[in-house]
Every structure is written in C-alpha cells, then in structure tokens.
Amino acid sequence: MGKTPRIERIELFPLHVPFRALVREAMARSAGGLGMAIAAEEPWTGGDFVIARLGAEDGSCGVGEAFVWLPETGVSPAQIIDAVEHGLARYLLGASPFDVEGLRERMDANVARSEVAKGLLDMACYDLMGQLCGRAACEFMGGRGADALPLAALIPLGDAASMVEMALAFQKGGTKTFRLKLGTGIETDRRVVAAAREALGPEVRLRVDYNQAYSADEAVRAIEAIAPFGIDCAEQPVRAGDWLGMARVQSRVAVPLMAHEGCFSLTDVTALIELGAVGVIGVNTERPGGITQALRAIDYASRRGLGTVLHNQPLGIASAAQVQLGAARASVLGHAMELFGHVMLEDDLIVDPLDYSGGFVRVPERAGLGVTLDVDALDRYATAGPVVLERSR
C-alpha cells in the first residue's frame, strides 16, 4: 500500500446565499419577521457560510461547509476564516486526512473553542478520505446503515391556519414528521398544535421549537398545555444559557426537551444529559463541531438511552454530510432528520441535488460526501475573495 497523501492546501470561501422569495415573504408575515420566536433584531434574509476545500498531494480534493447565523452561532464567516488561517491550519497542513481523531485532539489542545471552524475542517477531511479511497464517507463513520432516511418538515411561526396549510402540503408529499415553531403565547401555542394534530391525523409525529421564548415556569405550563396532543420533543423552551432552567423544566414535564441555541460543544451535550436537562439531543454539522464530534455525541446519547435529531438548513455539502452521518447511525437516531436548506435557500451550491422525495432523503453512493461543489455558484455567491493556505516546504 502506498503512502497516504497529505493535506497540501486549504482554501476558504465566505458566502451569502439569499432565501427564496417565498421564504422571505412567509417569514415577514410572522411576529418579529423571522418565522420564529427568537428575539433577534436584524432581518434574516439568507444564510452566511464558509466553504473549505482541502487539497491533497495527489490532486484529490475534499470539501466542507459551515453555516452561521450570529444570533445563534455567535461567529461570522470572517471569524471562522481567521480561526483557520491564524490557528487551525497549521495542524492540518502536512497531516493525513484519515487521522481525524488525532487532528481533533491537536486542534483542541492548541485552539480553545472555535467549534464551528474545527467542524468545517473535520467535515472536509471525511470528504477527502472518501475521494482518496473511492468510498462513501459513511463507511468511515461505521458503515451504511440505511439507504434512505425519513425527513421532518419545518413549519415556521404564523397563525394556526397558515401553519396547518403548509404542513398539509408537506404531508401530501409523504412527510410524516413536523417541527412546529411556537412561542407567541401558551394558549396560542395550544391552538396551533391542536389544529395541526386534528388536520394531520393521529399517526404523524410532532415536535415543537420555542426558540427560547419562555421562562422555566412558563415553559412548564406551555409544554403541559400541548402534551396531550403527543409531542416527540420540545426544543429550547428557555434561554440558551439557562441549563438549570432546562433541567427544572425537564424534571416537571414528560415531553423530552432538546437544546439547540444552548448546545455547541461535546462538553455541552454531555453536561446537559447528565444534568437531566434534555431527553433528546440535537446535532448538526456545526454542533457539536464536525462529524467526529457528532459521532461521539450520538453514541454517548445512545448509551444513555437518548435519541438524536439531526437538523439544519445548510447548503448541499453540509446536507450531504448530515445524510452520511444519519446513514451511519440510522439504528440509534430514533427521530426523522430535518434538512431544509434546499427549501429555504435559492441555491444549494452542488452540481446534482440530493434526492428529496416521498418524505425521505436518499444517501448518495458516490465517493466522499457524494456531492460535487458547483464552482460557478461558489463564485456567484462569494462575499470576498478566497483565503488560500499552503503547506510550507
């Protein structure tokens, strides 16, 4: 067997991809103009991203993607690029992309936090591994446990009639799980969930997302009000940093809680579980910082008897990464995954779209993440020139 090609080059591209016009219109009709109860003041018109491209000695290339939104992620594309350029890159250049555990250890030892930037590079390593070996990325995560994964639909905050109408449209397309945005008031929440359950029927699975709308005591009352309608999990009912509040709520309600805005690292995941503050964990390619950490989080939760929700609204690269991750852990997730970037964003920046049909997403079979970056779209949506870092000789 020949020598493993080393990482020779890192390219970083900052992007902004606007939401589709229909999405912007739907969000504008909601209280606060964001389609959710989060108290951000700036309009949310699209997604900010960083694309990373890792080049190996033999010419192979692996890509990664990070999606950021300041009210939740707390970092901008420029900050991610700075963390890579002036800190993390030195631990990847000249290294083997197959050493994801060792690379993560070195990055953690030398650069505190910066989970999103680390996860961006980690994802690109999995794609590069697959490209070098001609194998799907899920084979480096434990193997392909499914060929297709069930999808959940995101229903933005609005009046009950419009939310139900949107949910019914997704149901006609085969969707059987729905995430309802709530948080404008306990009685209003109850009416929305009641209407959704009546319209969609008893067999569909419902989860709700409060986006930090309530105090702990209010959250208890809000969740108890909708519990009779059968709720898979309730996402982030209290402020992101109020872990003790989450634990207090979880101790008083039977519906499993899920942290999102308040959970970014593997330490966050384990602490929330051990505090009894969550009954389900939420994972994407930014939280808790890449595929390697996501695998650790899912496995830890599984050992503690908790399922995992994979969800995000990324471009096609990170969507494919989450599908590969879901395929590798299909047997322990317990919940439909939610990928909404292809619905919300006007372009997914991949040449051939993923197959979202019949309420499922198909797992790509090609090498690596299974998708190809659209370089023309990359140029079109770039907000600045690329940052290129190369291995010194």
- Please list the residues that pair with 149 across neighbouring strands: 361
Could you give the CA distance from residue 97 to residue 149 in angstroms, rounded to a whole number? 27
Question: What is the torsional sign of CA 342, 235, 80, 6?
Answer: negative
Judge: domain 7-135+374-390, CATH 3.30.390.10.
Answer: yes
> Span 142-159, mean pLDDT?
96
pTM beyond 0.85: yes
> Span 248-277, mean pLDDT?
96
Residue 317's nearest CA partner among 261, 371, 376 is 371
Which pLDDT tens digit goes with each residue over 179-224?
A: 999 999 999 999 999 999 999 999 999 999 999 999 999 999 999 9
The pLDDT value recorded for residue 28 is 75
Could you give the CA distance from residue 340 to residue 329 in angstroms, rounded to a whole number? 20
Tokens for 375? Answer: 């370089």
* Structural domain boundaries in the chain: 7-135+374-390, 140-362
Peptide bond into 288 cis (omega under 30): yes
pLDDT band with cut points at 50, 70 and 90 for residue 2:
low
The number of beta carbons lying within 10 Å of the beta carbon of residue 380 is 12
> Please, what's the largest Cα pairwise distance for the chain?
66
The pLDDT value recorded for residue 31 is 66
Q: Are strands 46-56 and 7-18 parallel, antiparallel or unpaired?
A: antiparallel
Which pLDDT tens digit goes with each residue over 46-63?
A: 999 999 999 999 999 999
pLDDT of 80 above 50: yes
User: What's the distance, Cα to Cα, between the start and end of the chain in Å?
Assistant: 25
With pLDDT > 70 as the criterion, what percentage of the chain qualifies?
A: 98
Could you give the CA distance from residue 214 to residue 274 in angstroms, rounded to a whole number? 23
Q: Tokens 């797992």 appear where?
A: 363
Tokens for 131? Answer: 């490209």
Could you give the CA distance from residue 349 to residue 52 in angstroms, rounded to a whole number? 13
Contact between residue 80 and residue 68 where contact means Cβ atoms under 8 Å apart: yes
Of the candidate CATH numbers 3.40.50.10150, 1.10.10.10, 3.20.20.120, 1.10.10.60, the domain formed by 140-362 belongs to 3.20.20.120
Helix (H, G, I), strand (E, B) or coil at 370: coil
Contact between residue 286 and residue 119 where contact means Cβ atoms under 8 Å apart: yes
Which pLDDT tens digit goes with each residue over 272-286?
A: 999 999 999 999 988
Q: Which residues contact 30 (CB under 8 A, 6 or more apart)?
A: 36, 156, 157, 158
